[in-house]
Structure 1
Amino acid sequence: MKKVDTIIVGAGLSGMACAARLVAQNRSVIVLEARSRIGGRILCPAHQNFFADLGPSWFWPMVNPEVSALVQDLGLKSYPQFEQGLALFETKAGDIQTVSGCPMEPPAFRLEGGMMALIKGLFAQIGAQIIRLDHPVCEIRHLDNGCRVTVGHLDQPPRCTLSASNVILALPPRLAARSILFTPDLSYDLTQAMLKASTWMAGHAKFFALYDQASWRMMGLSGQAFSQRGPLGEIHDGSGAGDSPYGLTGFAGIPALRRKDEKTMSRAILDQLAQLFGPDAALPLALYYKDWSRESFTATEYDKKSCHNHPEFYPPGGKTSIWNNTLHFAGTETAGQFGGYLEGALVSARRAADAVSIN
């Protein structure tokens, strides 16, 4: 059982950013990812060299210094969210009203290549050799000189074990508390704090429809719409910086427990888009849909009820490290500021990497 300096659990933005910082310091690192892909809640299916964000879509340069610095460091290009024109509002009865647009303040920006461009850029800095996909962590045991990590499922024989001086949990605290056996047991207060920490996006579902023309812009609309009826509750223009494909994107307004299967939801989404933006909106070049509440490596049974207001996120139980500073918390839900956002993921990544560096 080879020992490394640091094992990072999770290859989302926080985990990848942690790894990049530690690799730059010539530390030995292994990243364990339960999924068969990197990115975590950043997911961007490709269509004609356009990448549709089914996870986070925006960052705000005026208040997101960590994301802005990473974008610059990776040489990526950003562009402002399209918000020119009027918006639509749909009542519970299905009446559609044209209203003034609601531009974001401060202004929001998207990335060329989607938010996956951040993950790809960090991957290029890290290298494939330290990332192990399809490696779910089922147990973390505290040792005298570090931690031992077991890969596999608790109800099956372990696939492999690894040891490290430090372990960084770069995944939602609730998911960690629900899916990983900690030995010795975590304190009752810490376990409860982890289970009570909301997981951002875990109760949500998001769609992305692509078109060769932005018919809504021709009608003087921004693509922004809000609905009390559903199935979509919030819609925005998701187009790229240049020509086609153009896009509409947004979130389901139906709670996770009431949402149907993908085929049924997709059909209902297209019907609603046609009602709002005209019949052409029901004929996209491509339609993507992701229900994060059905993603076992994102959501737990506690996440079926969506957070309609942005929760306040803090390190669980006020702790950023435990077990004599060998087990460290990262992930956007553990950030003391900008929790739930990409900025929070990077803030927590910097904090965890710094804790390892001085350990």
Structure 2
Amino acid sequence: MVIQKENVIEKADTLIIGGGLSGLYAASILAAEKKKVLLLEARDRIGGRILSTQIHGFSTDLGPSWYWPALNPKVCALVNALHLTGYPQFETGYCRFQARDGRVVTMEGQPMDPPGWRIDGGMMALVKELYKRLPQGTVRLNHPVCDIERRDDGVLVSVGVLDEPPVCRIKASRVILAMPPRLAARSILFTPDLPTNLTQAMLRANTWMAGHAKFFALYDEAAWRTMGLSGQGFSYHGPVGEIHDGSCETGTPFGLTGFLATPALRRKDKEAMAPAMLAQLGTVFGDEAAHPTAFYYQDWAKEPFTATEYDLKSAHNHPEFHLPSGKTTIWDNRFHFAGTETADHLAGYLEGALASGERAASAVSRPVRDSTKIKQTQALPPAAR
């Protein structure tokens, strides 16, 4: 991060806070319209809750894994527009179920309805392709926003840490906040204070994935398939609660992936959690499953730019987030909310992220209300108006 003098204020037309899918999508829409946009991302990478680790040309999704063509027209359209390839989730064969006493039984498979699909190259392929379409210099990494101040002629955004001098300040005509509402309410100082009902709504909005942890194990062979199993499993015993086949569409590598059932407050780091997780995979799918060629683990509850202390209890249903009175724009059309939790439909999914980014980009094109003139007009007696 380049440190600038505090009294130096940069200027931007539209400033986007958050480099996840919704922020990048909004930026790509505005860039395609030849509008000047600057995007700030707190992490040292783009993608937000989309995270895929590359190994031998294969991407392991440690965040979102699926989209549903029957339900997600925006995702499908974007996959096609970016010239990416999707493939159906492998679900052929029987399912395993592990009871509370540890006993494992084989049962009929539980295929997704409607069918879920994966993207060749992982969900990170969406992020990378959107990023390629942005003008050079649009995205700035390692830029956490700590203060957002409304001004008569725009919005002043400070980058850095609260209660410390800002690293830099940027004055923007419009701002799109494309980050989890709860995280924003918890980590950013707003001046003037946001309305109490809006702040409370933001704090109550569950951040999807924030309380969860996910694993991905890779193998040279899919031993479970030769056993007639789909790779799907569910368990009430052990750290892992849900398992799916995460293999490449054609050939190696093969993979098992899924979610932990251990609550966030009881989870430890990868080194402490991995032995029990691998032992459980071996119990459910055979000894070969306990010995992957590579093993990845991501605990989202420990990500400071995703989760807050309020997220240590996982949300088991996809959240629905609506601002008071359905508002997604404040401050005389200068400040716009994005992010999947702010979507009217399919909040918490990739589809909701795209819908919210599209909505915010469209709102930026609407004229700004001049609050100064409005106040002056309201102050005049009726006869003088």
Q: TM-score per shorter chain, which class?
A: over 0.9
1:86-125 aligned within 5 A: 86-125=94-133
Distance 2:274 2:135 in 1: 37
- Does the 8 A contact of 2:198 with 2:323 survive in 1? no
Q: CA shift at 1:36, angstroms? A: 0.2
1:289 paired residue among 291, 294, 297: 297
Flag structure 1 segments of 5+ consecutive residues without an equivalent.
none
Cα gap change, 1:317/1:295 in structure 2, threshold over 3 Å: closer, same or farther?
farther
In the other structure, the counterpart of 1:71 is 79
Q: Letter of the aligned partner of 1:133 in structure 2? A: L
- Are residues 1:17 and 2:21 paired? no
Cα gap change, 1:244/1:316 in structure 2, threshold over 3 Å: closer, same or farther?
farther
- Are residues 1:267 and 2:275 paired? yes
In the other structure, the counterpart of 2:167 is 159
Q: CA shift at 1:128, angstroms? A: 3.8
In the other structure, the counterpart of 1:332 is 340
Flag structure 2 segments of 5+ consecutive residues without an equivalent.
1-8, 368-385
Q: CA shift at 1:230, angstroms? A: 2.4
- Does the 8 A contact of 1:190 with 1:317 survive in 2? no
In the other structure, the counterpart of 2:262 is 254
In the other structure, the counterpart of 1:170 is 178
- Are residues 1:138 and 2:146 paired? yes
Q: CA shift at 1:27, angstroms? A: 0.9
- Are residues 1:229 and 2:247 paired? no
1:280-319 aligned within 5 A: 280-315=288-323, 318-319=326-327
- Are residues 1:55 and 2:80 paired? no
Distance 1:2 1:266 in 2: 46
Q: Letter of the aligned partner of 2:225 in structure 1? A: R
Cα gap change, 1:15/1:261 in structure 2, threshold over 3 Å: closer, same or farther?
same
1:204 paired residue among 194, 212, 219: 212
SS at match of 1:126: coil
SS at match of 1:129: coil
- Does the 8 A contact of 2:10 with 2:169 survive in 1? no
Q: CA shift at 1:96, angstroms? A: 0.4
- The higher radius of gyration belongs to 2
SS at match of 1:230: coil
- Does the 8 A contact of 1:18 with 1:349 survive in 2? yes
Per-residue CA deviation, residues 227-250 of structure 1 (Å, 9 max, x unaligned), is 011201000000011100000000
* Alignment: residue pair count: 359
Distance 1:153 1:284 in 2: 41
- Does the 8 A contact of 1:313 with 1:340 survive in 2? no
- Does the 8 A contact of 1:193 with 1:317 survive in 2? no
Distance 2:272 2:323 in 1: 38
Distance 1:58 1:317 in 2: 32
Normalising to structure 1: TM-score of the pair?
0.98
1:29 paired residue among 11, 27, 37: 37
In the other structure, the counterpart of 2:51 is 43
SS at match of 2:142: coil
- Are residues 1:6 and 2:14 paired? yes
- Does the 8 A contact of 1:232 with 1:251 survive in 2? yes
Normalising to structure 2: TM-score of the pair?
0.92
Q: CA shift at 1:316, angstroms? A: 5.8
In the other structure, the counterpart of 2:137 is 129
- Does the 8 A contact of 1:194 with 1:317 survive in 2? no
Q: Letter of the aligned partner of 2:248 in structure 1? A: G
The CA RMSD over aligned residues, in Å, is 0.9
Distance 1:311 1:340 in 2: 6
Q: Letter of the aligned partner of 1:57 in structure 2? A: S
Structure 1 ranges of 4+ moved more than 3 A: none
- Does the 8 A contact of 1:86 with 1:98 survive in 2? yes
Distance 1:337 1:210 in 2: 34
- Does the 8 A contact of 2:201 with 2:323 survive in 1? no
Distance 2:285 2:95 in 1: 11
- Does the 8 A contact of 1:313 with 1:337 survive in 2? no
Q: CA shift at 1:317, angstroms? A: 5.8
SS at match of 1:275: helix
Q: CA shift at 1:252, angstroms? A: 0.2
Q: Letter of the aligned partner of 1:345 in structure 2? A: A
- Does the 8 A contact of 2:98 with 2:237 survive in 1? yes
- Are residues 1:219 and 2:227 paired? yes
